[in-house]
Structure 1
Amino acid sequence: MRLRSIRRRRAALLAIGAVVFLLLAAMVFVVGRSRPSAAVQPPTLELAPTPAATSYRDPVLVRGKAIGAKQVAIGALSVRPAADGSFEIRLGHAPIDTTVVATGASGDVVTSPLKVEVTLPRIRAVHVTAYAWAYGPMRDAVLDLAREGRIDTVQLDIKDEDGMIGYDSQVPLARESGAATSIYDAPAALKQLHDMGLKVVGRIVAFRDPTLAAWAWHNGHPDWVIQNGGGQPYSSGYGAIAFTNFASPEIRSYNRDLAVEAARLGFDGVMYDYIRRPDGALGGMQFPGLTESPPDSIANFLRDCRDPIHDAGASVSAAVFGIAATRPEEIAQDIPAMARYSDFLAPMLYPSHWHAGEYDVASPNSQPYDIVFRSLQDFRARTAGTTAQVIPWLQDFSLGVAYGDAQVKAQIDATYAAGYNGFFLWNPAVSYHPGAMVPN
């Protein structure tokens, strides 16, 4: 009896012990679950200042610290940070706006925007046509200006006022329309100029394009052409079928593709000229497919071109009328809007093109310093708040008044006095006055 009683007590104690053990284990589990676990901290990301580039083709080194990150990436490029979080990523060229992404061990992501400032070097340039470059004596005269330190840039035509492309472009529409030529060898020209330490800005005459306009009109694309009220090609002082329709997606793509091709060939910059509507009464023109105002459409064309051209390595600029600073509607050039999407604007300030009394200058053609200086004040005001520079086109030709070293130099001096340090000289015959340009 006693033995059975002892066994029963032992069994009861064991059962009670098991229950107590289970209760204690449950309490430990519950208490453990109720305690806050150590939170996983997302990585921290800090970028070091990135020096300004002088070209969209310059390589860029991005440095920083990403504490707690297992990977830092910019686009398709990625690295593993060092133990202290430091990292470096080398980009092949100055990027358009992009983002640095740091990823932590638990998958947490932290981002930081990356924008590399591109500060273009000074530009002192002369205009050179495709045929002038192909003709040895004219080419040598331009190169002599560079050898003497009078210029540091050559503006070389890509597509001219006739719509012809100076080199053998591979853009499909250029070839189909017959616009591509072999007047000069673009890679060879660029190498020669770059070997001399010169920059090259390629000029694309955008919407004045009689070659493409005529081809489009006769090949089933009338909507590619600006039309009059009767649905026929709009005739202007530039010809019966001279202006393509800036609202046409195909026309916009064509001029963008030419610029991207030029940038990839090695042109340092692309300047759009005739980036406007024809002058004349707006009521007499039709722009098939236009869904916004002409000035907005022109500015948005620059917006759409900017990033592809930058990404291909070149700057973007536009030649604009001098009157656009005060009368933008006359040719659909809204200067503040265009400046937002340009590295620089190049106002054509030729004294011979101003009316008497403009900016209170009695005779602009006889007062080149005064008209250039005063008109630049308006361009400074219109581009304020943007990053666009102003580099004016100046007159080195005679029209009504004989122009020589003194008249050309007066315009350059006025540009400097207005606070700008660069210029483009225009002479359709590609003949310039060296004495106007001080060696530097």
Structure 2
Amino acid sequence: MVMYRSMGIIGTAALLFSTMCSLVGCGIDSRAELKKSQDQLTRKYAQQDADKRTMILQSQEKKNNEDVIPVSLMPVKKPVRAIYVSAHVANSGRMKELINLLNETELNAVVLDINSGVALSSPSRTGNKNDYSKLTISNKKSSQHFQQVIKQLKQKNIYLIARIVTFKNPTLVEAVPAWALKRKNGKLWRERNGTPWIDPFKQEAWEYPLALAEQAAKIGFDEVQYDYVRFPENAAKVDREVAYANSQGWTKEEAIRKFLHRATLRMHKYGVKVSADVFGIVGSSNDDLGIGQKWTSIAREVDVISPMIYPSHYSKGMWGIRNPDLSPGTIITHAIQDTIKQNKKLNEKGFATAKVRPWLQGFTAGWIHPHQKYGAQQIREQIVAARNAGITSYMIWNSSNRYPKFTT
């Protein structure tokens, strides 16, 4: 039996023919007939083998179909001016204050967290504890108040952006440890503060953020924004410590690009746009910084690309600016100019490119020296600088969701 399995169908048929002759004897005529039968069997099973190979190839092609279908980017027709709102704040009385801010300023959009377990979903696993194929989206923790907030914002024609934390997701790691980044000794890898990450090379792990995005689309979000859509920073150190599950042999850049490509294709079926957050310095770099984020790779796969161009996050001396946090307008001008150049390079090669909508600094970076308090004036300087550089859309980040009333 082992010999038959290793020989395959055609080899087995030939062996049976030879064995029969050796046992019962074969005359010339019978040999000729058997030879004819053998040839017929050979042709039959050869065709079956070919058909089987074709089916396997077709199955593989279907599986990879999303990776080869080109993305047609969806234009964002109006300027989007947003603030970030956590799911916790959206479910609190403070949301009323933020809605008033939207009414009293040029703001017309909000970026809402949706994978915190407070808003829409938390990952859960069903069936056998080792069966990860049945990972589902659980709505048990969904908040009716959050759903009411969505409805209220929609009624006010507020543009809704669902923020999904993609690969830096400890909750998902807890649900499916097999998807986590692992050390070379097989143990869970954690960054300095103890947070584990999903391995971006694991395609099966992509399905959770993709399914979460579909859920957001179904309840009325206009756009899905993927944050932490990258590998951990301090790449050289991480690469020494981690054993990536990269059976495909991809680069980090390819993994991130392919994920976003798939995400955009899926969301476009719902008429929902896709955006990606990238480090601010990505807009001024020609490589992926070791984290998989390369501007010219990402900007042709998503509808909107959002560099986090917070002045406080640039090193001293960048663009000749001694203290970036003290010069918000100048930093924003240089950063935007670099992103425009990046898109122009792609356009010259015939690629459509994502709309640039930057994240601006709405927080005080008290951990650096020197720094300044960021209030209405500093926010205004950034918005005006972006506008003068040709960018009329923006988002303001403050993790505590406390924003001053500002005019531009």
TM-score by length of 1: 0.67
Is the contact made by 1:179 and 1:211 (CA closer than 8 Å) also made in structure 2?
no
* Matches of 1:391 and 1:383, distance apart in 2: 13
Residue 135 (str. 1) matches residue 88 (str. 2): no
**1:257 equivalent among 192, 195, 211:** 211
Q: Distance in 2 between matches of 1:238 and 1:415?
A: 34
1:328-347 → structure 2 map (5 Å cutoff): 328-347=288-307
What code does the residue aligned with 1:144 have?
N
Partner amino acid for 1:271? Q
The answer for the alignment partner of 1:199 in structure 2 is: 159
User: Separation in 1 of the partners of 2:206 and 2:103?
Assistant: 38
Quick one: which of 376, 391, 395 aligns to 1:420? 391
Residues 64-115 of structure 1: CA deviation (Å, up to 9, x unaligned) = xxxxxxxxxxxxxxxxxxxxxxxxxxxxxxxx9xxxxxxxxxxxxxxxxxx7
Equivalent-residue separation in structure 2 for 1:370 and 1:358 (angstroms) = 11
1:283 counterpart (223, 240, 244)? 240
Counterpart of 1:345 in 2: which secondary structure? strand
Identity across matched positions, percent: 29
Establish whether residue 154 from structure 1 lines up as the match of residue 110 from structure 2.
Answer: yes
More helix by proportion, 1 or 2? 2
- Out of 261, 274, 281, the position equivalent to 1:316 is 274
SS of alignment partner, residue 329 of structure 2: helix
Structure 1 unaligned regions, length at least 5:
1-95, 97-114
Q: Does 1:392 align with 2:349?
A: no
Aligned to 2:184: 229
**Structure 2 residues not aligned, in runs of 5+:** 1-65, 67-71, 127-133, 367-371
Measured at CA, do residues 168 and 296 of structure 1 come closer, stay the same or move farther in structure 2, by a change above 3 Å?
Answer: closer
- Which one of the candidate residues 198, 201, 204 is aligned to 1:247? 201
Instruction: State the match for 1:6 in structure 2.
Output: none
Q: Does 1:211 align with 2:167?
A: no
Distance 1:179 1:337, change over 3 A: farther
Q: What do residues 211-259 of structure 1 show as CA deviations (whole Å, max 9, x unaligned)?
A: 1112222xxx2xx11122322222213425x210111122111111111
Alpha-carbon separation, structure 1, partners of 2:400 and 2:224:
21
The structure with the largest strand share of the pair is 1
Alignment CA distance shift 1:306-1:172 (3 Å): farther
Whether 1:188 and 2:148 are equivalent positions in the alignment is: yes
> Cα gap change, 1:230/1:320 in structure 2, threshold over 3 Å: closer, same or farther?
same
For the 8 Å contact 2:163–2:225, the answer to whether it is kept is yes
Q: Secondary structure at the match of 1:287?
A: coil
**Residue pair 2:182, 2:242 contacting (<8 A) in 1 also:** yes
Q: Which amino acid aligns with 2:307?
A: P
User: Among residues 406, 411, 429, which one is paired with 2:377 in the alignment?
Assistant: 406
Equivalents in 2 of 1:266, 1:179: separation in Å? Answer: 16
Taking the aligned partners of 1:406 and 1:290, their CA distance within structure 2 comes to 51
Matched residue count: 315
- 2:81 counterpart of 1:121: no
Q: Distance in 2 between matches of 1:279 and 1:184?
A: 37
Whether the 8 Å contact between 2:161 and 2:225 is mirrored in structure 1 is: yes
Structure 2 partner of 1:42? none
What is the one-letter code of the residue matched to 1:248? K
Higher relative contact order (CA 8 A, sep 6+): 2
Partner of residue 7, structure 2: none
Poorly superposed stretches of 4+, deviation over 3 Å: 115-120, 168-180, 183-187
Q: Deviations over 1:187-220 (max 9, x none)?
A: 4222110111111001000000001112222xxx
The Cα shift of 1:182 comes to: 2.7
Length-normalised TM-score, structure 2: 0.72
Is the CA contact (8 Å cut-off) linking 1:228 and 1:285 kept in structure 2?
A: yes
